[in-house]
Structure 1
């Protein structure tokens, strides 16, 4: 008899509770069938998992085992073969027992854990599906499936003796509910005749939690999550009298699954979310102590801009105005808000908080929670699709959400750090590939895409590029998967587009063809990354940051879009080499490398040389949509790809038993990630709003339809006036401003309002301190510009070269200013 440590070819596991009457014939049938063709089935065993029976079930199995062992010993002593026709059962029948009755799930978990088979067959004690049907299931496993599910509901299945019609109807209804809520794509989850790959069965059953009939569904869910292929195979089935599955048991299964879902959020998951929130709070700690009076200097003028976006959205909502347009900035032409990133998906639902507490607090809450939610979403995706080890998923998600590019954008760009929809969209696209619920998943994907458009279109475009790169690479290494997936994926994407388009078509038409729309945004001939930027460290790296180096290799502190550091690049290379046999690793590696290469821009210089090479971005730079993308941002796609590679490495190291390998591996990961740990974002006291604005003195200087004109006009380099406006409750209109708008007849996108002669003059004086000769021509131009702006008052706050600005304005309007409320004021109603 084989020792317990010896593997066998096939294990048959039978859960039993008070099965004294039906179990004997079942054991005989199985043993006879397997014993008749030893060459076909190899070494086998039958395991009866008794679930605390109170009848003679245990005695029946024990007696057969004892008699069989006695017979075997006698035959060995005599050196003879076992006599044909003996009534002794096969010696390979084993009994495992539970101390009390817990349910079918508990019995199966016990029996499968005791199994040693390379394949494990689970069958009920009544043998409603004849053992001969094992042939069909085994054929499916031989074709590469991880499990073969005996089914009464697929073409080719035959049903002999049926249940009572009412019982059958209730059973079918229950099975439909289970199928729709638990295991999409499997028509018959509850047929108790299933063949599994042995190791995967033992993993899935060990991971199960249900003690009742719902374990069938739970185990199949495990296979689905692990992406282990399932086959539903038609079998012969006949109802057996004495069945313990009642019509209402399907309702109990649903109740069990509901409880399981409630328990699915493990303490480790809650801890991970709490840590993500803590990390986000730490990053913004310098501002969170007093959001209304603290400013992130590395945001340049973007914090003022984003607070204004939230404020203007709340003001539009409160007054039931069009949230896609305003003339409060860029007056009188106005601003196409849809053509700017106002994040209506959050600025609208957060409008009550903005109106109650102010845009500074509202934006601070959104960015802090949004960054943590993004990390949690990546964690969820990695646990579901990449690794099951929670610690590994936490490390990978932390890198995906808090990588140096994300920290850089955390200063100023909530649209690039609040990406919690992206992992959900990726998961839904992967669901489409399975082809199980194409219509439903396509609709959900369309709704998700529509919402993401109202959160940020450029991040969605970059995510789509990343998914396309990944899909192309995966299709090359797994052509079988690609062949099976492209039809349902294509159909689902069409359904998604049909769902999304009606929800966004008006807003997109407004964005591209509405008032103050534009065609592209000018951001320089080459905004790509230097190759050195991919290997260097970001300014906010806690231990390796170098502001001078980082700023020399990036557009500004908010656009440090690479900076993953050479240790992480080296680690990623080592991971790819070590795990190269995995298709997922190959696809992730290609995605990261391709995204990094694209981020170099239309051309790039080889470091330490004068050699300039064309970059692949040149193929996209002039194409619609891509023409407005800052190409260096494509490197942000690397963050989740690298995070998943690191998660795979941590998961593999945690599973190895070689302590030396673990030590070296984890040390390498720590050394690669430690330089990327960010320091809290810099925060300073905010410039005070002049009393003239804060106490409402401005109101007496403006008539209906008139604007307040700051000197110089607000622009992307000096947007403090936007803060004045939000503090004033959006009570006055501003010419100029910081937004994206059209310029010239070709309507090319620029940052800020279209310049005019007077705005150019005042801006030049502020930055140079030089006043040109002001004559009649300048005064005439000024009168025309002030009339165009419908100016009611000019306001000059203390600033760089304010004495020169004051002298310039006095010459233009022909009268001295008045010092009041901390500013110089020129009342244009006084005959000026």
Structure 2
């Protein structure tokens, strides 16, 4: 039915006032309709003191039997029974639309022609509307419902499968959308049915979605129900309904939402544009050695999966001790399922794709959360989500750390926690939350820990501001969290045991004494900000280019402060403001330096610094919690500005927003030509030097300062093994986590020369130690690529080996076979 036709029907409605309209769709119902109409009219006549004036509208959906004549005959005896005839059979949805739009009742009951739910159940639905609901669904699926005569087993299974599909794709939270016994507020029902388009069963979902979008409250009421023989529902109808629901879902997507996702994707592509020019041969210098490491993580996971090896451990680097991959951020949640892609296009392209799509997906997930839970203004939601995903600290990590870029699960978890607080479906939402937490553990444990800290700060502040809400929410929340833990812990028990107690596990990672943020870094601008970027200041205030964990800029900090002051009466604003302030304060670390001085003082992070898990966190990263908190604050403020009737205030407010955001708009990440893999590797010349279980030993050995050899190894498809490497592993009797393999005399000496160019005096003791180290590494060949201090390194290795190296395939090579002879 077109909009014009719907309008015509509305104009043709009776002008008199009706308290209750009953709509009965019918197609070839001659046998069952007579008793149904008799039951309905008898009940309404007997209860006119309660339900008032009434009408019954029967819609003939193109019947070929005597349905139409039966209704006309009943109507002769009681003109309150009316017939609306369709031109042909179009489906239950079309019939309901015709019938509802032909009513004028203050309330509208729709019921099937078989009256599976007795008309007497109208009483409980009417009571629900009297309590303020806009629609009451007679439900077979909520506690208290009575099934007097069940369907056949086959039909029950089909019905349950269809209902699961409906609930998951269209109307979450409603258990029984398809029961044909519903009571609506009349005006709202006519508005919803006039806007509907579906002809089949899917119209029930379409109408409920209209009520949900309009924020009209809907409830499910338990009723008595009995299956009636002669059902018109066929198995093929379930397939048709699934198609209608897919169409309904596609139609429900707003163009503004699609545009937001597209723009997020374009922003992510623009950020990585330099690398996408040629992913295999471009490198992000701001990542330092992390791009080599992450490509290796992608490649080694694919290699292990393809060869059916343990994905949690490898000796391909760090030989002979190996690497505990679960104790490193390998992101199994992506590297394992993307194994075919990595094998097909290579780890460089796979990593670039994950970081680009992951960043866009994270922004889209924040946008979804903000639209659903914070503001409905799409522009406000877009701005807030863009800040949450593309804030300066996020862009800093975008150069090197996909585990801090691919965060789309975090907003989904936050929304699920908010659902738990309502107490509606605690067990189901707890199970889903547990599965989400499990997946996030395999994407990144540190982001999950920081997100949990941020949610804890927000929850505490909101509970203080809204004690009534907290009082109602804490029981279902704790129950849901317990369910989530019960689901998640068995799934992650073995991997976590391997991480903390398996081979090459470590207790915690020591990052240094001052890894918190300087207070000035919270107000300064990051290196990669397009307009206000300040490389010298950022370099002086941050650990390195990948750890610019604050740098929100003073205009944004000032705007956030102004928003909190102006909207302080709102509990949400109070909680967000506290979360941002507390996270920024904690990020100062266990000890911090006062700006422009050498004076230090105890920092707030000292409360967490020695707690399990927290002791491995780079505390400056806690300031990343501020990004979504500031994004949500900004979304609230922009929506408030959009609603203000004063153009002057709106102009000033939006100008302030622009002044805060424009200086921190990120510039595309710089990309350079990648150092080529030596021909010695690509041509396979190394194969004549490495036999059996022997290793190829780069000079110096790969570590966090120079991991180019990992790129050699992935280019050779892991055909050789490396000692040393760039990973987290244990050191010392206390098993403190360090970056790279445990240093040996020879590896430490070669590393020092590569940094300083200073040659030590090589005596018999050094040569003996070197030979012991070569034996420990099972070294077959030493390989020195061109580099800054190539000559001191080459001369030193000549003395350690006792013979000069050879220039082969663009590198210096020392064959170690026969060295012990």
TM tier relative to shorter chain: 0.7 to 0.9
* Residue matched to 1:78: none
Distance of 1:641 and 1:289 partners within structure 2: 34
Could you tell me how far apart the structure 2 residues matched to 1:338 and 1:158 are?
A: 51
2:495 paired with 1:507: yes
Match in the other structure for 2:701: 713
Kept in 1, the 8 Å contact 2:59–2:96? The answer is: no
State whether residues 533 and 553 of structure 1, in contact with CA within 8 Å, keep that contact through their aligned partners in structure 2: yes
**Matched residue SS, 1:558:** coil
The CA distance in 1 between the partners of 2:709 and 2:272, in whole Å, is 24
Change (3 A) 1:667 1:765: same
TM-score (norm 1): 0.79
Does the CA contact (< 8 Å) of 2:564 and 2:573 recur in 1?
Answer: yes
Determine which of 414, 417, 426 is the counterpart of 1:429: 417
Q: Which moved more, 1:770-779 or 1:674-683?
A: 770-779
User: What is the aligned partner in structure 2 of residue 568 from structure 1?
Assistant: 556
1:394-413 to 2 correspondences below 5 Å: 394-413=382-401
Residue 186 of structure 1: CA displacement? Answer: 4.6
Q: What number of residue pairs does the alignment pair up?
A: 766
* Aligned: 1:740 with 2:728: yes
- Once residues 99 and 649 of structure 1 are traced to their aligned partners in structure 2, the CA distance between those partners, rounded to angstroms, is 53
1:181 matched to which residue of 2?
A: 166
The equivalent of 2:715 in structure 1 is 727
* Structure 1 pair 537–208 and aligned structure 2 pair: CA distance change class (3 A): farther
Conserved in 2, the CA contact under 8 Å of 1:325 and 1:335? Answer: yes
Q: 2:131 maps to what in 1?
A: 140
Distance in 1, matches of 2:322 and 2:663, equals 45
Helix, strand or coil at the partner of 1:271: helix
- The CA distance in 2 between the partners of 1:592 and 1:636, in whole Å, is 9
Contact 2:690 2:780 in 1 (8 A): yes
TM-score of the aligned structures, taking structure 2 as reference length? 0.80
The more displaced of 389-398 and 413-422 is 389-398
State the superposition RMSD in angstroms. 4.6
Find 1:450's aligned residue among 438, 458, 466. 438
**Unmatched runs of 5 consecutive residues or more in structure 2:** 1-16, 27-36, 63-67, 69-79, 81-85, 113-117
Residue by residue over 1:190-248, the C-alpha shift from the partner in whole angstroms, topping out at 9 and shown as x without a partner, is: 576657799x9999889876677766644544666788765556799999xxxxx9878
Provide the rounded CA distance (Å) in 2 between the counterparts of 1:352 and 1:125. 52
SS, match of residue 813 in structure 2: strand
SS at match of 2:131: helix
Deviations 1:157-194 (CA, angstroms, capped at 9, x unpaired): 999xx9x9989x98999699558833455566557665
For 1:612 and 1:207, locate their aligned partners in 2 and report how far apart those are by CA, in whole Å: 66
Structure 2 CA distance for aligned equivalents of residues 236 and 417 of structure 1: 52
Is residue 706–residue 791 contact of structure 1 (8 Å, CA) maintained in 2? yes
Q: Which residues in structure 2 correspond to 1:305-454 (within 5 Å)?
A: 305-454=293-442
1:261 paired residue number:
249
8 A Cα contact 1:17 1:53, kept in partner:
no
Select 2:667's aligned residue among 674, 679, 702.
679
| Structure 2 residue corresponding to 1:809, chosen from 793, 797, 818 | 797
Q: Is the contact made by 1:374 and 1:401 (CA closer than 8 Å) also made in structure 2?
A: yes
User: How many Å separate the matches in 1 of 2:338 and 2:611?
Assistant: 35
Q: Could you tell me how far 1:301 is from its partner in structure 2?
A: 0.7
d(CA) in 2 for partners of 1:205 and 1:654? 31
Query: Separation in 2 of the partners of 1:153 and 1:284?
Result: 50
- Supply the distance in 1 between the matched residues of 2:426 and 2:560 (Cα, whole angstroms): 35
Query: Deviation per CA, 1:442-476, whole angstroms, max 9, x where unpaired?
Result: 33322222222111111111122222223333333
- Tell me: CA distance 1:591–1:762, structure 2 relative to 1, closer, same or farther (3 Å): same
Please state how far the C-alpha of 1:579 moved relative to its aligned partner.
3.9
Distance in 1 (alpha carbons) for counterparts of 2:555 and 2:56: 54
Measure the CA separation in 1 of the matches of 2:189 and 2:160.
23
CA contact (8 A) 1:736 1:752 kept: yes
Instruction: Check the 8 A contact 2:101/2:190 in 1, yes or no.
Output: no
Determine which of 765, 785, 790 is the counterpart of 2:753: 765
Is the CA contact 2:124–2:221 (under 8 Å) kept in the aligned structure 1? no
Which residue matches 1:615? 603
Whether the 8 Å CA contact 1:184–1:436 is kept in 2: the answer is no
Shift of 1:558: 0.5
Pick closer, same or farther for the CA change 1:290–1:213 going to 2, 3 Å. closer
- CA gap 1:656/1:177 in 2 versus in 1, 3 angstroms: farther
Q: Distance in 2 between matches of 1:254 and 1:736?
A: 56
Q: Distance in 2 between matches of 1:135 and 1:15?
A: 13
Matches within 5 A, 1:134-173: 136-137=127-128, 140-141=131-132
1:604 to 577, 580, 592: 592
Task: Give secondary structure in 1 for the equivalent of 2:508.
Answer: coil
Residue number in structure 2 paired with 1:462:
450
- 1:696 maps to which of 678, 684, 689: 684
Equivalent residue number for residue 291 of structure 1: 279
**In structure 2, what is the Cα distance between the partners aligned to 1:227 and 1:11?**
25
Contact persistence 1:702–1:792 (CA under 8 A): yes
Shift in CA distance, 599/204, structure 1 to aligned 2, threshold 3 Å: farther
Could you give the per-residue CA deviations for residues 769-815 of structure 1, whole angstroms, max 9, x where no partner exists? 22222212211211211111111111112212211111211222221
DSSP-derived class of the 1:181 partner:
helix
1:106–1:212 contact (8 Å) kept in structure 2: no
State the 1:415 CA deviation.
0.9
**What's the counterpart of residue 825 of structure 1?**
813
Tell me the equivalent position of 2:9: none
